[in-house]
Each structure stands twice: as C-alpha cells, then as structure tokens.
Amino acid sequence: MIVDCAVYEGGHRRNGSMTLEEAHQASRESSGFVWIGLFEPSEEEFDSIQREYDLHPLAVEDAIKAHQRPKLEVYGDTVFVVLKTASYIDPEEIVRLGEILIFLGEGFVITVRHGQASNLHDVRERLEENSELLAHGPGAVLHAIVDKVVDDYGPAIGGLQEDIEQVEEDVFSDSRANVAERIYRLNREVLQFNRATGSLMEPIDRLAAGRYELIHPEVRTYFRDVNDHLVRVHDQLEGFRDLLTGVLQANLAQVGVRQNEDMRKISAWVAMFAVPTAIAGIYGMNFEHMPELGWSYGYPMVLLLIVVLCTGLYRYFKKVGWL
Amino acid sequence: MIVDCAVYEGGHRRNGSMTLEEAHQASRESSGFVWIGLFEPSEEEFDSIQREYDLHPLAVEDAIKAHQRPKLEVYGDTVFVVLKTASYIDPEEIVRLGEILIFLGEGFVITVRHGQASNLHDVRERLEENSELLAHGPGAVLHAIVDKVVDDYGPAIGGLQEDIEQVEEDVFSDSRANVAERIYRLNREVLQFNRATGSLMEPIDRLAAGRYELIHPEVRTYFRDVNDHLVRVHDQLEGFRDLLTGVLQANLAQVGVRQNEDMRKISAWVAMFAVPTAIAGIYGMNFEHMPELGWSYGYPMVLLLIVVLCTGLYRYFKKVGWL
Amino acid sequence: MIVDCAVYEGGHRRNGSMTLEEAHQASRESSGFVWIGLFEPSEEEFDSIQREYDLHPLAVEDAIKAHQRPKLEVYGDTVFVVLKTASYIDPEEIVRLGEILIFLGEGFVITVRHGQASNLHDVRERLEENSELLAHGPGAVLHAIVDKVVDDYGPAIGGLQEDIEQVEEDVFSDSRANVAERIYRLNREVLQFNRATGSLMEPIDRLAAGRYELIHPEVRTYFRDVNDHLVRVHDQLEGFRDLLTGVLQANLAQVGVRQNEDMRKISAWVAMFAVPTAIAGIYGMNFEHMPELGWSYGYPMVLLLIVVLCTGLYRYFKKVGWL
Amino acid sequence: MIVDCAVYEGGHRRNGSMTLEEAHQASRESSGFVWIGLFEPSEEEFDSIQREYDLHPLAVEDAIKAHQRPKLEVYGDTVFVVLKTASYIDPEEIVRLGEILIFLGEGFVITVRHGQASNLHDVRERLEENSELLAHGPGAVLHAIVDKVVDDYGPAIGGLQEDIEQVEEDVFSDSRANVAERIYRLNREVLQFNRATGSLMEPIDRLAAGRYELIHPEVRTYFRDVNDHLVRVHDQLEGFRDLLTGVLQANLAQVGVRQNEDMRKISAWVAMFAVPTAIAGIYGMNFEHMPELGWSYGYPMVLLLIVVLCTGLYRYFKKVGWL
Amino acid sequence: MIVDCAVYEGGHRRNGSMTLEEAHQASRESSGFVWIGLFEPSEEEFDSIQREYDLHPLAVEDAIKAHQRPKLEVYGDTVFVVLKTASYIDPEEIVRLGEILIFLGEGFVITVRHGQASNLHDVRERLEENSELLAHGPGAVLHAIVDKVVDDYGPAIGGLQEDIEQVEEDVFSDSRANVAERIYRLNREVLQFNRATGSLMEPIDRLAAGRYELIHPEVRTYFRDVNDHLVRVHDQLEGFRDLLTGVLQANLAQVGVRQNEDMRKISAWVAMFAVPTAIAGIYGMNFEHMPELGWSYGYPMVLLLIVVLCTGLYRYFKKVGWL
C-alpha cells in the first residue's frame, strides 16, 4: 500500500501528493528527492518502483518478505537499511517488534513498514517543518527515521523496567506467588529485544563514521548521537538480563525457603501431637499393677503433664524458629 | 557413485549425460565447465577424477572420508568447500547432519554428497533453467548449492522452535511431566547444529568479500545475501540456547515446587490424623477416676470434638495453602 | 544555576566573580580561559552560554537533560565529556550516582553538575592554589575534575566492600538470616556502578594517548595515572561481582543445609516418640491371655524398656549427627 | 637416553645407526640432516648435543625439565616446538598427557620425548618409506610428528565421548546411581585436555602461514590440514564441556526427583497407617456409653471400615502419583 | 628503609656499601649503574632519591603508597614497573600478596619492596655471581627480579593445588563435612591471585618484544621465557577456577544427597513403627465381641504378626535402598 509520495526541493515539499510516475518524473527533473512511503507492499505494487529506481532484486525481496535482522547493505549506488521497531504491550508483557526497511539513493528515499512499526507520518511532518535539515537530502530523512525508531525504544524499555521492578518486589515480599514463569517470559522478551537492537549499532556506527557519501557531513554528527542513545538502550537491556538472572535465583531461593518453612511447621505440629499420644498410650496399657491408675489425681496430673510438655515444646519450637 | 555429469556452455547444458572422460574432453575443448555430481564415492571411483582435475590429495582424502568441519580451503587453483546440511527428524527430535564437499576450479565443479545431505538434483534443475546465472560459471553453481543448503536450515530451525515451544508449555502447565531429558536432548541438538553452521560464516564472508577470482563479481552480492541468512540462523540458534537454559531452570523450579506441594499435602493429612489419635489415646487411658468416661454424652462429645478440630485444621490448612 | 564564573590567566584567577558577559569579554581579550560552573541549569540559563561559546545543540541537550553514559565527544573545536560520580549511602546500601558534564574549548571550560555529583568547589580551590598546573589551560581543569571524580569512587568502593564482607560473615556464621535479598541488592548496585564507570575508561585512555590538542602534553601523563586508577576501580568491581556470585551460591547452600538440619531434628524426635507409642499400644491390647499384664513388675519393666530404647535411640541419633 | 640417531640425505637414511659425533660430522659434510631421537635425557646426555648444535640454554632447560605448554619459539636460527600428546586410559577414565619437544635447525632435528608420549619410532619408519616427503628436510619431520600427535588425540577423544554417552544414559535411565563424581572427573579431564591442545593451534597456524623458512613451502599445506584437524579436536572438546555441564544439571535434577519420590512414597505409607491407628484409638476409648462396642458386628464393621478407607487411600495415592 | 646500595661496573660490584650520595656520584662518573634497594620507604627517605634521579612525582607517589596493579609505565627516560609477589600461608589457606616497585633508568635501578614481598637479597647475590649477565646493565636486574617473583608464584600455586585436591577428596568421600565455606575462600584467593598476576602478562610481553631500549637485546629472550612461565601460572589459576566451580556444584549435590538419605532413613523407621502401633491399636479396641481376644494364642500370634511385618518391611526398605 502506498501511504504517501512526495517530492522535496530545497527542504520544502512540493504541494500535494502525486502518483509514483509523477514523482519519478519530478525528481529526475529537479535537484530534490522523492520520498515514497509504503506499508506491507505486495510484489506487484513494488514492481514498478523497483524498475524505476533500479533496486537490487535481493533487497526488494527482503523489503517485501521482511523478517530481516537490522542491517545496512550497499547495492551499487543504493543504500538499503533494515530497522526493527519496538513497542511494549503492557498487559501481556510482550515487546512487539515491527520492521522498517529503507532504500536510499541519489534523489529518492523509499520507506517500507511492516507490522506494528513506528509511525513514519509524524517523522515526515516534523521533518517538513524543519526545512534546514530536510535540505540535507535523503540522509536527513534516514536520520529522522532512525532517531524516531530508537526514541520509540524508550517506552518499551520503561515498560520492561517497571515489570521487572514489580517482579523484584514480589520475590522479596511475603507473597507466596511463584513468579518463575513471569521471569522466564520477561527474560525472553529482553533477549528478543536485545537481538533486535544489538545488530543495529554497527550500521549506525558506520553511518556516523561518514562512510557513505549519500549522508551529508552535517547529518553524521546526528547519527553519532543516535548511536549513543542506542548504546544506552543496549546497556539497559544487558542490565535487565543481569537483574532477571539474579531475580530468578533469588526467587528459587525464596520459594525454597518458604516451602521448607511450611514443611517444618507441619512437622513440628506432628511432633507436638506425638507427645500426648505416647503418654496416653502408656496409661492405656492394661497391666494389673499400675499404681498411678488408682490415684485420685492420676488423670488430672497426666493431663497437666501433657499440657506442660506441649506448652514447653511449643515455646521451644517458637524460640528456635521452627513454628 | 556418479550421480550426474554434464558440460555447461554459455549457461546451457550440452544435451545428455556423458562419461567422465567425455566430459573432461569436452570441457578442455570448450569455454564451458563440467559439473560432476557424486554420492559417497569410493577411493577407486575418485581416482581418475583426482588425476584428471589435478586435485590435492588432502582435499580428496577429506572428500572421501567426510566428517569435516565447514571450511573453505584453497589448494593451488582449486577451491575446496565443505558444507554441512541439516534436516529435522521430528519424531526423534534430532537434527540430522549431512555433508556436501565441493571442488571448484577453472572449468569444473565436482560435488560430493555424504549421508542425508540436501538434494542437489533440484539445484541443478533450477540452475539449468536460469541460463543467465549459469553463465557466470562454477561460482554460480557454488552459490546455488550454498543457498540451497542454508535455505534447508530453515525447516530444521522451525522444527526445533516448535519443540522448544512445546517444552515451554509443558513446563508452565500443570502437567507433572519432568521434561529435563527432553530439554537436554534439544540443547544437544542445538549445540551440534550451531557448531555445524557457525564455522560456515567465515568462508561465506570471504566469498562475499570477493577474495576469489573464480567467483564472478556479480555472484558476490548473492553470497552476501546467503551470509545474512546464515547470521540469522546463527542468531536464532543462539536464542534457542538462551531459551533452553532458561526453560531448564524453570523446569527445575517447577518440578521442585510441585514435589514440595505433594509432600506438604501428605504431611498435612498426617498432622490431621494425629489429632483424633491423641484425643482417643487420652480417653483410652485406664485411670479409675476419669469422670468424663461415666458421662452419658462423653462419647458423642469427644467425637464432636474430634470432628470440630479436624474440620478446623482442614480449613486452616486450606487457607494457608497447605492443602 | 550559575555556581561560579571566573577568568584564569597564567595560572591565576582574576579577582572576584563576574557575570557571564564580563567573563566572555575578558577571555576573548586575554590569553587565559573562563571557567563557568553550573548546577542543573535550565534551558533558558544555558541559552546565552550556548550562543557565546558556539556549543553544539546535541551536546547542550545532553547537558541539560543529563542521564547520559560517560563519554567523550568532539563537536568541531569543542570537547564534550560526560562523567558519572558515585557516593555510597551506607544505611540503604545504595550507590548514588551523579553526573558532571564538561565543555572544553580554546579559552573556556563549562562544567555542569547534576544530582548529588562530586563537589567541584574543592577542585577549583585546589587548582587555584597550584598555578603551575592551572597554567596548562582547560586540559588541567578537565584532569582535576576527572581525578576528583575517580578519587571519589574510592569511598563508594570501600563502602561496598565492607557490606560484602558483612554478608560473607553472615552467610558462614551460625546465624539463620537469609541474606538473599541483601546480596541481590548489593549485586544490583555493583552492576550499576560498573556500568557507570566502565564506559569511562575508553575516553580517558584517548585523553592519555594525546589525541586531543586541547590537552597540554604535560597533562597527558596525569590522565594515564587517572586511567590506571580507573582500571583498579573496575577490577575491584569485577571482583565484587565474582564474590557476590560466590556468596549467593554459598548462602543458598547454607540455608538449605540449615533447613534440612531442622527437618531432620524434628523427624528424629518424632521417630523417638513412635517407640513408646508402639510398645504402649502392644500392652494396651485387650487379649485375655497376656501373661506380662499380670506380672508385678510388668509395668516398671515396660517403662524401663521404653527409657532404655529412647535413650539408645537418642545416643545413636546424636552419634550419626541427626540430632 | 638416545633412542635413535641417523643422517638423511636426499630423502634416504644413511645405513645403520651412528654415534652423535659421527652424525654431527656427517651432517656437516653433506646436504642432508641428522635426526636425533632422545627419551627423557639427563643434563649430561644433552650437554654435548647442546654444544654441537648451539642450542639456546633456555630451550635446553625446557627440553630436560619438560612440563611446558605447547608452544613454538624461535631462538636465533633454531625453531623450538613443544607438543603435548594424549592417550586415554579407559578403566580410570583419565587422559594421560605426554610431551614431545623438538629442536629444528638447518641440518638437524632433535626430538625429546617425556612420559607416555606418542611413539616416534613409527613416525620415523613411515617417513623413511616416503623419501619424496623426507627430501623436504627437517620441516617434513616436524610435520610428520605433529600429524602423529594430533592423530593420536583421536582415540582419546573417542574414549571420552564413549564415557560421556555412558554417563548420559545413566542419568536418564531408572538407575539410582549418583554420577556426580564421574561427571566431575570427566570434566576435569576434558578441561586439562583442552588446555593441552588449545595452545597448540596458534603455533600450527603460524607454521601453515609459512612464517618460517625452515619449513619447505610444499609442507605448509600439510600443516594447514593438521590445523584443521586440531580445530576439530578443540570443537569436540568444547562440545564435551557443554554436554557435561548439561548432564550435570540433569543429574542433579534427576537425583532430586528420585529422592523426592522416595520420600513421598514413605510418607504416603505413613499417612495410610495413620487411618487405622486413629479409628482403633477411638474404639479403644473407655467411655461407658459407647453403643457400637456392644454391637455384635461392631468389630467386623470397624475392620471393614479400615480396609475400605486404606484401599481408597491407596487407590487415590496411586492415581495422583504419590505411590 | 635503605636495605642495600651499590655500584656495579662491567658486571662487578664495587666493594662495600655506600651512601646514596656516594653511589650517585660514582655512577655519574663511571659507565656502570647504581642499584638501590629500599623497603617501605617514607616520603622523606625517598625525597633525595627522587631529586637525584629525577623521578616522576606520580611514580614516586605509587612507590611510597603501594597498592598498585602490576604495570609498566614509561615516564620520560625512566621505566617504572610494579610487580605483585605471592606466597601461600598454608594454615589459613591464604595467598599473601606483596609488592615490588622498580625504577629503571640509564645508570640506575631503584627497587622498593612493600609487605611480605619476595626477598631481593637472594636475587642480588645470585646476580653478583653471574657477572656476564650483570654486565647487560639495569635490564638484567629487572629480569632477575621479575624471574624471581614469577618463580615464587610456583609454591603458592602448589599450595592452592594441594588444598583443592584435599577439598575434592572431602567432597567425594563419605565424610559429612560441608566444605562450602572452604571452597568459597579458596576461590576468593584464586581470584585475587589471578588478578594480581593477570595484568603482569602484557608488560612482560612488551619487554620481551624489545620495545624498550634500556633492555639489552640479549635479555629480551629471557623475558620471553618469563612470560611463558607467567602464561602457565595464569592457565593453572584459570584451571583452578574451573575446578572450584565444579567442586562447589558437586559439593552441593553430595550434601543434598546425603541429607536426603538421612531424612529417608528416619522416615522409613517411623513408617516401620507405625505398623505395630496400628495393629496394637486394633486389638486395644473395647468391642465386646472380638473373638481373637479370647484365643489362648491370640497375643503371641499378634506379636508374631508384628515381627513378621516389621521384618518384611525392613527387608523391603533395605532392598529398595531406603535404609
């Protein structure tokens, strides 16, 4: 689906939307560039674009099928960038990944969104308001998109952090919940998120290092800033992994301790009941000669003995922490 | 066993199969190349090929014995490539590895399959339909084979993923299965698979970097694509390892929790039965002076007491989660 | 908030504080440099500084928002350094991080403190007393600040070490405390601290290697010394991680052992009480023909038997370590 | 002890053994080389060799004392190589390491064996039969020895693999053996073996890269083959480590599960016996008014009740898997 | 404290000790060098040395305060080396670290010992006997000291190894000791030792690579030998870590198994005693119609039944390994 298609000259958008052909025509005649925005295009929709801008078939295949790793490839004069976007679905504690694929050439930017990827409409609008930046050409568009994608990692990171803190609290509270599954699932999301963002650092680094002529020197500094942001995201995700590993071990320990406490309490109660049973058993024996049986206060004395012993045991168990 | 032997000129197969000698003769006279396909050849079968194409004895030894790591070696003018193929045997949850060894020289490609390796017949047929690619010479054949091998990793990855998801579900369900062995075996398969594919990345990278003149420049881009695919496979396998490690720990915890619950329940029942035993014991004592024994309602009152106590305990145990 | 603003010439402070405009004026006319100290400045406060010293907007954004990783960036002629400071809040066992951001240019140093960062007033005073060093220009100021920040890691390291030693003692003492949570929290602090200091090493290394002309060669040696100090901090933090991992495992083991001992003791007591119960039960049977029941010494003999058996069991249990 | 000493010219052994002096004399006059084989030589035995071939005292010290890491050092014109040999002592599940040290110079090879090192006699015989290779000089001898040593790792690897598979089977069988110690010892052997072989890769790589003129170019390809073999050995040992780690965890889990099953069974039996005890206790009370006691069928009915309850419990316990 | 101070010319010591001033004077006039040996010098003691040999204040600060990491720094023409020495205090199983700091310049060596560092007196004596080596100047002294320090690691390694082997034996013996604390402490010592020696490798490597002109080329080979020794030390310490990790896990498993055995035994005894209690309870019931009670052999038959049942249970428990 073609979402938007416009020509930009000297940092300004030529009024109105246009068809692909008009845009191609316009860009060839002027010094500006076309920006075509697509959403999950079919092979047929992409066909004419591929031919007009002479895109490499391998990159086109990737752009249509998606499910790529973040990467930056150079095919002839065209730079092809794959980005993973992330958003946090809090109720399910899931990091939902989307994909944005960008073709960058002299005179054109083609962006392809797949799944629940970050919204590029906002990016376009904000850029159109900043004609100075937009005048730096396709590289400025690439930066704006990457910047948006990396900024959008922020809320996902925040959502994960909140849930990890909740889990931490659960583990060290007196609650008897077993959060093993929740920790496992959070860890899986963190791993997946880290894989999606980790491989983006190297391409951004290359962009910041100024290895592509398509990227205006002024824009390179901005990529350095994005990279810095990305490293911070990566650091935080690594930190989450360490925390989750630690919290899992702590949970195991806490669950074990709590279960053992239960067993100990039950056993201590059983032990306490064994005392009256044993004493009563003795006075339930049928010997003919058991002087205590004839005593007037034999029965209350035995009851007293039982009470005293059980109370003593109870206190002792309390003292050593078994009850 | 010689599976197929043909001469290709200008991207087209010269009609019919031929003997090795004819093929050798034909290739020397023309600008095309021979493609000889072998399956687990004996030393004798390979002897004449070795002499005709002047293959290095070390490479030939590897090709006959197999059981190599994926690698790319250069012996004089000949490039020798070892590939591991993988297929997933779902009922046994095993990744079955096969081996394809390829000799690549000016004017010839010799492919040797061992075990349940990927089918090369399909590769040959598809290439023969694409004469443009085939015209790029032996390098195009190498790419087609490597591409097929790496594509065939996909279903194996998928099979593993499915089984890992099943294990995940088992662990966090209420089922009492101990999946430790299954996790262990899946992990072993993942490790083995990862070793088989991991060492392939570096040779593919070298092919993509254009370090071998035998590989037509046009074909190099395609190797970059294969490498990208391979990195994704590797990423997924690494992810599997992380998941299996996590799921193993979770399984340990879940099994421990469930077993402890059983013990707690049994102990709680024992504790409940200790109450009537102790009370009955007391009224089973033979003291002469036990006024309760003479009461008309002594017996039903004691029964009631026992019922009340046991019910109370039962409710308490339910409340604190011991039953 | 502007904390201090002064001009330094030939290693000496020009008397009195001045406004930003005066300072800017003065520095432009002389060969000295301005040092402006700020604390959590607002965007408005920073606005004029940015314009006067031509600071890059990305760096300015970082300086106002803080929450950066330690880093060193070069924007045109200006060097921008981010430092993390650390102090240990002993009662809560927390490493509190602050942030100092420094702009360094020909003729000016601008320092921005955020949060509970190390005090820079001391640094300024000590530098003002050492005119020889101060004469080396902005680089000397940078060194003095970095040196102070890294020196201040010392007490935080010391605080952590003390608490880790306390935890060690707790774990291996007879105390029944479960220090799992404390270990977890200390580990989290160590991780966070390590992340805050770890990424500082590389920039300091670059400063020591003399890659920036702003830094006087004489000062470089001093950066090498700071780097050495930083590596030691990092080594110690790594060591803490290893210790905490070890102590966590040991704690798990100790808790498990102690809990098991409790269960064993309780069970042993239950076992001991089962003996009199069983014997008394036998002599409580109502058979008509039980010769022992008629014996005169039947009852004391049974009591004796019970005492002997229980004493024997008690001794045995003591001997094998079950009690 | 001098094991063998011979002069080789043009790939052929000059007839008969000779004394060291004769050999030295002969080698100086001809274009061939001497190969002296020693077994755990004393300092005195080595003294004359050192002087004649001008060996570096540090290398000589190593050669006499042994207990080195695998390495390749260059002392002036002499190359000094240390190799670790391995053989598997199956009954004790031990990898026995030996050591071979080799001095290589223009015109001489001196080999020193320590401990249960691989037999070099076979190497010498096989080389003497292959005069073509032998004609490549001392480098060919070095290759033959390294090849033999690395080939001999094979059976040791195989022995370890077999024992690991046995352990795997033990862990997942119903056997109640605790294989923790066996796993620990196997892991120790694997670690030791890996250390002994791991540091050999880098020197072999250097030999294959053709960095030493002493090594004939023709021989270098063969070192590449040896290196490949060595990498495979290393891969397998790494794989063993992963397997042993996994199997240790699985063993812990299995042992825990099995022990818990035992405890559960015993407790379930105790719980079943508590039922008749409690019921019998009730009818053992001495109340005057207990109507059931007078019933004719009271006793058989109680017996029936007990049988019914116990059978019910037994079935229930079987159903929920507690028995 | 000044321990020794002497001038060496052409490999020979000029007779007698001298004051610092005399030594300085002598060294300036001759082509030899001064070697000043200090032990924990105060700032005052070092003051004149610093001035005479023009030492960098940062290095001097390090030399007086100690507590450095092993390192090699170059300050102008002076090389400054920090070494950690190690000795094993067997009764406490502690690796005691000392520190030696060395200033090396054209014409002087200044050695500073801190704590229980290796004895340098022996080094001096041995060097004085080897005038050939000593003639290579300060570099030879540096080598002799480093060699001594690394050689002294040997006994510490040996001590650790012995204690680790003891722990291994303890864990797998039938002893019931919980060696968790001992393992933890040994691991801590190994970690500390490894940190102390690990960072020495890189400086030694640089010395061996001949990057410092102060070091005579003849001496460089000897540094290579020291480095080799150091790598071996490092390898062994890494091996210790792996062993201790393994032994800790094994200990946890063994302790768990043994504790569970205890619990199982006690529970099995309790289960056995539950049988007579239940049977006796039944015959202790007060039903009027219990034919067995009137039988002459009722009592002995019940006793026999109890004995038979208990014996049967005992045998069964033995058979399944519960007792």
Give the distance from residue C28's alpha carbon to the nearest chain E alpha carbon, in angstroms: 34
> How do residues C287-306 score in pLDDT, each as one tens digit?
888 888 888 888 888 899 99
Residue C47 near residue C95 (C-beta atoms within 8 A)? no
Asked if B195 lies within 8 A of D235 by C-beta distance, the reply is yes
Nearest by CB to A269, which of B250, B257, B271? B271
A291: closest chain B residue by CA? B287
pLDDT of residue A252 exceeding 90, the answer is: no
The shortest C-alpha distance from C291 to chain A (Å) reads 10
Q: Compute the average pLDDT of residues C295-319.
A: 90
Mean pLDDT of C229-256: 90
Q: What residues in E contact C290, CB-CB < 8 Å? A: 299
**H or E element, residue D86:** strand D78-89
Write the residue in C249, C267, C268 that is nearest to E248 by C-beta.
C249
Task: Give how far B156 is from chain A: nearest CA, Å.
Answer: 17
Neighbours of chain C (3+ CB pairs under 8 A): A, E
Strand residues in chain E grouped as ranges (E): 2-9, 12-13, 33-39, 71-75, 78-89, 94-105, 108-114
CA-wise closest residue to A215 among A130, A61, A301, A106: A106
Q: Inform me whether the pLDDT recorded for E148 exceeds 90.
A: yes
pLDDT band at E256 (very low <50, low <70, confident <90, very high): confident
In this prediction, residue E147 has a pLDDT band, given cuts at 50, 70 and 90, of very high
Judged by CB atoms closer than 8 Å, whether chains meet at B285 and A286 is answered as: no
The answer to whether C19 touches C92, Cβ cutoff 8 Å, is no
**A286/B284 Cβ within 8 A:** no
d(CA B7, CA B12): 8
Among C259, D169, C253, CA closest to E247: C253
Angstrom distances, CA of residue C220 to CA of C207, C210, D187, E69, E100: 7, 6, 48, 20, 25
Amino acid residing at A43: E
Q: Give C209's pLDDT tier (boundaries 50, 70, 90).
A: confident
Mutant choice from B99, B184, B296 vs D, greatest count of D C-beta within 10 A: B184
d(CA B83, CA B226): 13
Residue of E286, E306, E310 to mutate when probing chain D, most D C-beta within 10 A: E286
- For chain E, give the percent of residues with pLDDT over 90: 42
Q: Which residues pair with B87 in a beta bridge?
A: B96
The yes-or-no verdict on residue A314 having pLDDT over 80 is: yes
Please report where in the chains the tokens 């965890």 appear, as a residue.
Answer: D249
Contact residues, chain C, for E286 at CB < 8 Å: 286
pLDDT of residue C175: 77
- Phi/psi for A4 (5° steps) reads -155, 155
Cα gap D146→B185, rounded to integer Å: 36
Chain E residues inside the 8 Å CB shell of D192: 239
| Residues 6+ positions from B296 with CB-CB distance below 8 Å | D289
Q: What is the pLDDT of residues D105-114, one digit of tens each?
A: 988 999 999 9
DSSP string over B223-287? HHHHHHHHHHHHHHHHHHHHHHHHHHHHHHHHHHHHHHHHHHHHHHHHHHHHHHHHHHHHHT---
Q: Which residues of A touch B260 (CB under 8 A)?
A: 259, 263
- Which residue from C86, C132, C120 is spatially nearest to C230, judged by alpha carbons? C86
The partner residue sitting opposite B283, judged by closest CB among D225, D274, D285, is D285
- Give the one of D71, D187, D284 whose C-beta lies nearest to E228's C-beta: D71
Cα(C103)–Cα(C79) distance, integer angstroms: 6
Smallest CA-to-CA distance from C192 within C24, C306, C69, C77 is with: C69
> Tens digits of per-residue pLDDT, D132-146?
888 888 999 999 999
Closest CA to D149 of D93, D102, D92, D202: D102
Provide the CB-side half-sphere exposure for B266 (13 A, CA): 27
Phi/psi for A106 (5° steps) reads -60, 110
* CA–CA gap between residue A128 and residue A141 (Å, rounded): 10
Cβ contact, residue pair C239, E195, below 8 Å: yes
Query: Reduced to 3 states, what is the DSSP secondary structure of residue B84?
Result: strand
Chain D residues whose CB is inside 8 A of the B58 CB are: 221-222, 225
The residue with greater pLDDT, A119 or D79, is: D79
Does residue A144 register a pLDDT over 90?
Answer: yes
pLDDT tens track for D222-237: 999 999 999 999 999 9
CA angle D127, D132, D133 (to 5 degrees): 50
Which of A152, A172, A303 minimizes the C-alpha distance to A233? Answer: A152
Q: Which residue of C has its CA nearest to A278?
A: C277
Q: Do the Cβ atoms of D48 and D71 come closer than 8 Å?
A: no
Asked whether the beta carbons of residue C299 and residue A287 sit closer than 8 angstroms, the reply is yes
Q: Which residues of E touch D297 (CB under 8 A)?
A: 289
Using the predicted structure, report yes or no on whether residue A183 has a pLDDT greater than 80.
yes
Identify the residue with better confidence: A313 or A259: A313
Q: Do C276 and A254 touch (CB under 8 A)?
A: no
Contact: C252, A247; criterion CB under 8 Å: no
CA dist list (Å): A298 to A282, B287, C294, E246: 13, 7, 21, 62
Touching partners of D (3+ C-beta pairs < 8 Å): B, E
CA of residue B229 relative to chain centroid, distance: 16
Determine how many CB atoms are found less than 10 A away from the CB of residue E82: 25
Q: Is B1 helix (H, G, I), strand (E, B) or coil?
A: coil
Provide the 3-class DSSP secondary structure of residue A260: helix
Answer yes or no: do D273 and E270 touch at CB < 8 A: no
Q: Which amino acid is at C126?
A: R
User: Nearest Cβ partner of B246 from A184, A266, A302?
Assistant: A184
Measured CA to CA, the distance from residue C246 to residue C171 in angstroms comes to 11
Q: Please report residues of A whose CB lies closer than 8 A to that of B263.
A: 263
Nearest residue of chain D to residue B74 (CA atoms): D221
Strand order in the sheet with E94-105: E12-13, E2-9, E33-39, E108-114, E94-105, E78-89, E71-75
Instruction: Tell me how close the Cα of C305 comes to any Cα of chain A, in angstroms.
Output: 12
**Beta-carbon contacts below 8 Å between A and C:** 119
The number of residues in chain C equals 323
Q: Using the beta-carbon criterion (under 8 Å), do E271 and D270 form an inter-chain contact?
A: yes
Best of E234, E261, E279, E287 to disrupt the D interface (most D CBs within 10 Å) is E287
Interface probe with D: pick from E221, E259, E285, E318, most Cβ of D within 10 Å: E285
Sign of torsion, CA C289 C291 C296 C302?
negative
Phi, psi dihedral angles at B321 (to 5 degrees): 85, 20
Q: How far is C317 from E100, CA to CA, in rounded Å?
A: 56
How many Cβ pairs within 8 Å bridge chains C and E? 119
Question: Which residues of D fall within a CB distance of 8 Å from B69?
Answer: 228, 231-232, 235
Query: Residue A255 and residue B254: Cβ atoms within 8 Å?
Result: no
Among the partner residues E262, E267, E280, nearest to C284 by beta-carbon distance: E280
> What residues of D are in contact with residue E237 (Cβ under 8 Å)?
none
* CA pair distance E285, B284, nearest whole angstrom: 9
C-alpha to C-alpha distance for C162 and C263, rounded to whole angstroms: 34
Strand order of the sheet with strand B12-13? B12-13, B2-9, B33-39, B108-114, B94-105, B78-89, B71-75
**Residue to substitute from D282, D305, D318, interface B, most B β-carbons within 10 A:** D282
| Rounded Cα distance, A81 and A103, in Å | 7
Contact criterion met (CB < 8 Å) for C287 and E285: no
**Structure letter (DSSP) for residue A119:** P
Q: Which residue of E has its CA nearest to D56?
A: E221
Cα B134 from Cα E213, distance rounded (Å): 61
pLDDT at A104 over 80: yes
Q: Which residues of B touch A293 (CB under 8 A)?
A: 286-288
Compute CA A240 distance to the chain's CA centroid, rounded to the nearest angstrom: 9
Tracing tokens 């005579």 back to the chain, one arrives at E216
Instruction: Provide the residue-wise pLDDT of chain B in tens; the chain has 323 residues.
Output: 888 888 898 888 887 777 888 888 877 777 889 999 999 999 888 898 999 899 998 899 999 988 888 999 988 889 999 999 999 998 888 999 999 999 999 889 999 999 887 788 889 989 988 888 888 889 999 999 999 999 999 999 999 999 999 999 999 888 777 788 899 999 999 999 998 888 899 999 999 888 888 888 888 889 999 999 999 999 999 999 999 999 988 888 888 888 888 888 998 988 888 888 999 999 988 888 888 888 888 888 989 999 999 999 999 999 988 87
Smallest Cα distance from D184 to chain E, Å: 6
Q: Which amino acid appears at position A162 of this protein?
A: E
Distance spanning both ends of chain A, measured CA to CA: 68
